[in-house]
Amino acid sequence: MAQQDWFEKDFYAILGVSKDADAAAIKKAYRKLARTHHPDKNPGDAAAEQKFKDIGEANSVLSDPKQREEYDAVRQMAHGGARFTAGGHGGAGGFDDIFSAFGGGGGGSRVRFDTGGGSPYGGGGEDINDLLAQMFGGAAGGARGGQAGYAGYGAPRGPRKGADVQATTTLPFRDAVEGSTVTLRTAEGRTINARIPAGVKDGQKIRLRGKGQPGEPGAAAGDLMLTVSVEKHPVFGRDGDNLTIELPVTFAEAALGATVAVPTLDGSSVKVRIAPGTPSGRVLRLKGRGVPGKSAAGDLLAKVQVIVPEALSDKAREAVEVLQAEADGFDPRAELADRARA
């Protein structure tokens, strides 16, 4: 975005934040407004689309500390925050007086800004960086020859890199584990295809280089900082690079031992041996069935849950009563009570 647009656009008002808002407040306001005015939620609404573009422009400047500093300085001058003596008038002049002094020989002529694609010094237009450099100590000839920037007070600068852009996306659990490609739409209406690596975590930030705002001619584009949210899975959980699952088994399987099938994230299943006397809560480890990693995949951790039947037939009740009689005198809580008294 051309810096001359900064004189007319109040980015703080566009995002609905105060001028001393911190980066977190700006980010929060941008995300809320972007969700509300996104073109996908307002198809055919030209006003919402323009609003979406405006908040994107505002965020790209205010989220970049260097651009925000320059923007604040320019806006301050535009509202009379900086006062100078314009030659020939004998007193303190306002912002218009400053530019009239650079308007070419006469009193009170207005400065015109070049918005074309050619040289900012040809065709009669004045480049804003050139004018600001003259105000802050850069000689007119030196500013033109070196394309002095405002921030450097007359020091030469190269083409400015594009601003970084913040964005969010939500992935299904499986796509986050296995990796995926998502399509994003920027505030300016550009479409960006972004590859999400396998194993991305909920809340993780990914830097996509060169996917941000375009830079000035000859400069690189900015980066896209993408925050990923991962949806919950109805069966699987995650612990680092390991996947987790609750594995229900019957009382008989836990007591007598059994071989049972454990589902995996790819839709297949793996047979696992339940040892006789396996208690509820024991974790069985299935090597290499977890989240893919750079060197090796994590494991699948199956936590045994012994399921107690809610209703028993007469025959099953008799069998349990026999088991109870066989265990007469055994108190599984005795050690717990001893530890509690210690």
* Torsion angles phi and psi, residue 235, rounded to 5: -120, -45
- Please state which of the ranges 35-44, 107-116, 310-319 shows the lowest mean pLDDT: 107-116
Give the least confident one: 18-22, 133-137, 259-263. Answer: 133-137
For residues 73 and 56, state if they share a domain: yes
Residue 160, domain member (yes or no): no
**Alpha-helix runs per DSSP H in 102-204:** 128-135, 140-146, 173-178
pLDDT at 99: 45
- Say whether both 140 and 22 belong to one domain: yes
CA atoms within 13 A on the CB side of 113: 12
Q: Does the pLDDT at position 2 exceed 70?
A: no
Supply 42's token pair: 């307002």
Same domain assignment for residues 43 and 177: no
> Does 158 fall in a domain?
no
CATH number at residue 292: 2.60.260.20
Dihedral (Cα; 267, 270, 271, 276), 10-degree rounding: -100
| Same domain flag for 141 and 179 | no
Q: Which of 230, 254, 280 is the last residue of a domain?
A: 230
Between residues 83 and 206, the one the model is more confident about: 206
Encoding tokens for residue 109? 């002529």
73 in Cβ contact with 84 (< 8 Å): no
When pLDDT is averaged across residues 237-253 and rounded to a whole number, the result is: 95
Number of domains within the chain: 3
Cα 210 from chain centroid (whole Å): 16
CA–CA distance, 10 with 37 (Å, rounded to integer): 18
For residue 170, being part of any structural domain is answered with yes
Q: What is the pLDDT of residue 310?
A: 87
**Whether the Cβ atoms of residue 291 and residue 241 lie closer than 8 Å to each other:** yes
Mean pLDDT for the chain overall? 78
Residues 119 and 181 in one domain: no
The letter for the amino acid at 212 is: G
For residue 224, pLDDT beyond 70: yes
Q: Is the dihedral of CA 176, 180, 185, 187 positive or negative?
A: positive
In this structure, the answer to whether residues 101 and 169 fall within a common structural domain is: no
The answer to whether residues 106 and 204 belong to one domain is no
Report whether 164 contacts 209 (CB < 8 A). no
Mean pLDDT computed over 257-261: 95
**Based on the domain organization, do 144 and 7 belong to the same domain?**
yes
Q: Which domain holds residue 42?
A: 3-152
Residue 114: pLDDT band (50, 70, 90) is very low
Q: What is the CATH number of the domain that holds 31?
A: 1.10.287.110
Residue type, 90: G
Final residue in a domain of this structure, among 89, 119, 152 = 152
Tell me, yes or no, whether 51 lies in a domain. Answer: yes
Question: In this structure, are 184 and 285 located in the same domain?
Answer: no
**Domain stops at, among 201, 230, 259:** 230
Evaluate whether 226 touches 205 at the Cβ level (below 8 Å).
yes
Segment 96-113 mean pLDDT: 42
Residue 281 lies in a domain: yes
The sign one gets for the Cα dihedral 59, 63, 64, 65 is positive
261 located within any domain: yes
In a domain, 117, yes or no: yes
157 in a structural domain: no
Helices 65-78 and 46-62: crossing angle in degrees, nearest 10, is 110
Please, which residues have CB within 8 angstroms of residue 104's CB and are 6 or more apart in sequence? none
206 or 4, which is more confident: 206
Pair 173, 95 in one domain: no
**If DSSP codes are grouped into helix, strand and coil, which group holds residue 302?**
strand
Q: Are strands 300-307 and 242-250 parallel, antiparallel or unpaired?
A: parallel
Instruction: Band the pLDDT of 78: cuts 50, 70, 90.
Output: low
> What pLDDT digit, counting tens, does each position of 132-179 carry?
555 544 444 444 444 444 444 445 567 899 889 888 899 999 999 999
Residue 33: name the closest of 12, 3, 61, 6 by CA.
Answer: 12
Quote the pLDDT of residue 124: 43
Q: What is the model's pLDDT at position 157?
A: 66
Kindly state whether residues 97 and 47 are assigned to the same domain.
yes
Q: Which residues contact 314 (CB under 8 A, 6 or more apart)?
A: none
Which CA distances in Å does 37 have to 51, 264, 277?
7, 40, 59
Residues 95 and 110: beta-carbon distance below 8 Å: no
31 and 90 housed in the same domain: yes
CA angle 206, 301, 293 (to 5 degrees): 35
The total of other beta-carbon atoms located within 10 Å of residue 83's CB is 14
E strands, 172-292, are: 180-185, 191-196, 205-208, 224-230, 237-239, 242-250, 258-263, 269-274, 283-286
